[in-house]
Amino acid sequence: MTEELDILLRKYVLQNAVKYGGKPQAGTVISRVMGEYPELRSEGRKISMLTNAIVKEVSRLSPEKQKEELAQVAPRLLEELSLTKEHVKAGLPALEGAENGVVMRFAPNPSGPLHLGHARAALLNDAYVRRYGGKYILRIEDTDPRRVDPDAYTTVREDCTWLDLVIDEIVFQSDRLDTYNEYARNLISIGGAYVCTCEADQFRELKLAKRACPCREISPEKNLELFEAMLNGEYGEGEVTLRVKTDIEHPDPAVRDFSALRIVSSPPHPRVDATVFPLMNFSVAIDDHLLGVTHVIRGKDHIANTARQRYIFDYFGWKPPVYRHYGRMGIEGVVLSTSQMKAGIADGIYTGWDDIRLGTLRAIARRGITPEAVRNAVLEIGIGETDISFSWENLYAKNRDIVDPVANRYSFVPDPVLLEIADAPCGFVAQAMLHPNDPSRGYRNLPFDGSVFIPKADLVCPGMIRLKDLFNIRLGEGKDCLVATFAGKSLDEARKAKAPIVQWVPPEHTIPCVLHKPDGDMKGYCEPMVALDAGKVVQFERVGFVRIEKATAMLIEAYWGHR
């Protein structure tokens, strides 16, 4: 143990050294280790002595050597240093039995691109792999040909890259059908499974009445024959299924003799030529064991599946992983059901998987929401068992923290009206900062030549408004509303008069702009310089953060992020 503890502490000391410019701090290391490994708290004295000794050793190494060693012995701790504090802390509870590293998996069905619900599973498991070190497996669960969308083999992986998951290995379940069949034979041989030829409805009735079906009594030898017949195509779809013998009186009917393998003859599978496919609980249990998965974090909707999967672990005498089930997360305001999204796209209701009315990661990426914001929001939600509803406002707040310091500012005038300013000093050029906290980024020039476009919503007649970075104007009444008069340059006066500070664009230096929002488009004008930020998130002043998707000489297209 001392040696193992040595190794563990050295990793954290090295990380601390790299973090603090080559000078590790014993106290910080100790509190980090105690926080991560509460079970070590009883060994406080020993830990403190060892840490102090290791700190001395590590301090003698050059910063380059420290970093080199850290990269070698604990690459994830090195990586962690480039993450924000939410990534590391995230309020996630310690996982039992994780001290020596974990093997975890993210196991999506490739039925479409990933959405926010997937992101929670993907990022929580990822956070624990980063925290404890070990291995992260992306397991593509493609054993239901009816639910495989061939494009999703690519889109799911792209989405994992976007989320910056630390995937070490990718496994396709469709590559492993022989393995599942082999374990099915083993399970039959030990009397743990049987081939059931009952009609589905007939079995259902028996099951609900806690009664076994006649097939349950057939001998393993006969069952092996029936299983080979099933594999050899002697049965058609729906005629036969392999069932795991559980407790026929189990309180949850879903657990009673559940199906493990079945025949699906159409549609053909896009990757393999087969008709017998495992159902989720069978392939998941076999793979979790064979791939050495130590911890499974998934939603409460999998609780019945966990009960079923435990039967398979028990039959084979395997140690099951540690399971944690987090509460349900309602996500309002977007479409999340893959089948609904798919049908909507086919019918032309949605433009594609990145239509911003959908809850896919590509839709939110299109709105300029960063993967870091998704990660921070999801980790903050954590693995609690309470059902919650997803807070878009919280996601927006996390994103604002990230984009606000970097987004350039521009004027966008939605629903524009043209205002003549009768007596204003022409030839004046307003200089507006690209970023209010960073003058070094420079300025945008907005030349004033007698008239401006302002948003219709800001037309308060009569009244005073300040044209941002320009001067104050007074709006007339009735038909004079659109003929404004110059009202001085003083910002103080505008403030005293509580005049709204309004964004504007000069009619001669402007470009049409459409801002796509989930609830409809906003049309107007913006500064032509916005084109320089194509592909980036900018702030349209007084409107919100948007992502500039496209910029041509004729039109700017932006997508709404948040305020």
Interacting residues toward ligand GLU by CB under 6 A: 107-109, 141, 280, 284, 298, 302
Cβ nearer to ligand GLU, comparing 280 with 513: 280
Residues 135, 152: Cα–Cα separation, whole Å: 23
Cβ nearer to ligand GLU, comparing 86 with 288: 288
Beta bridge partner(s), residue 516: 521, 559
| Residue whose tokens read 């104050």 | 472
The amino acid at residue 178 is D
- Contacts for 59 with CB less than 8 Å, ≥ 6 apart: 17, 22, 23, 24
Cβ nearer to ligand GLU, comparing 51 with 109: 109
> Is 517:426 a contact under the CB 8 Å cutoff?
no
Cβ nearer to ligand GLU, comparing 319 with 498: 319
CB of residue 139 to ligand GLU, shortest distance in Å: 8
Cβ nearer to ligand GLU, comparing 151 with 521: 151
CB of residue 283 to ligand GLU, shortest distance in Å: 9
**DSSP one-letter code for 357:** T
CB of residue 299 to ligand GLU, shortest distance in Å: 8
The count of C-alpha atoms lying within 13 angstroms of the C-alpha of 482, restricted to the half-sphere facing its C-beta, is 10
CB of residue 123 to ligand GLU, shortest distance in Å: 14
Cβ nearer to ligand GLU, comparing 306 with 539: 306
The amino acid at residue 383 is I
Relative orientation angle of helices 2-19 and 44-60, to the nearest 10 degrees: 50
Cβ nearer to ligand GLU, comparing 5 with 171: 171
Cβ nearer to ligand GLU, comparing 137 with 374: 137
Cβ nearer to ligand GLU, comparing 284 with 424: 284
CB of residue 238 to ligand GLU, shortest distance in Å: 23
Coil vs helix vs strand at 503: coil
CB of residue 209 to ligand GLU, shortest distance in Å: 29
Q: What is the CA radius of gyration of the chain?
A: 31
The amino acid at residue 551 is A
Cβ nearer to ligand GLU, comparing 108 with 278: 108
Coil vs helix vs strand at 214: helix
Residues 453, 508: Cα–Cα separation, whole Å: 10
Q: Are strands 472-475 and 412-414 parallel, antiparallel or unpaired?
A: unpaired
Residues 278, 321: Cα–Cα separation, whole Å: 20
- Contacts for 426 with CB less than 8 Å, ≥ 6 apart: 448, 449, 450
- Contacts for 290 with CB less than 8 Å, ≥ 6 apart: 179
CB of residue 442 to ligand GLU, shortest distance in Å: 48
CB of residue 124 to ligand GLU, shortest distance in Å: 11
Residues 180, 173: Cα–Cα separation, whole Å: 9
CB of residue 171 to ligand GLU, shortest distance in Å: 12
Residues 497, 123: Cα–Cα separation, whole Å: 50
- Which H or E run includes 195? strand 193-196
CB of residue 284 to ligand GLU, shortest distance in Å: 5
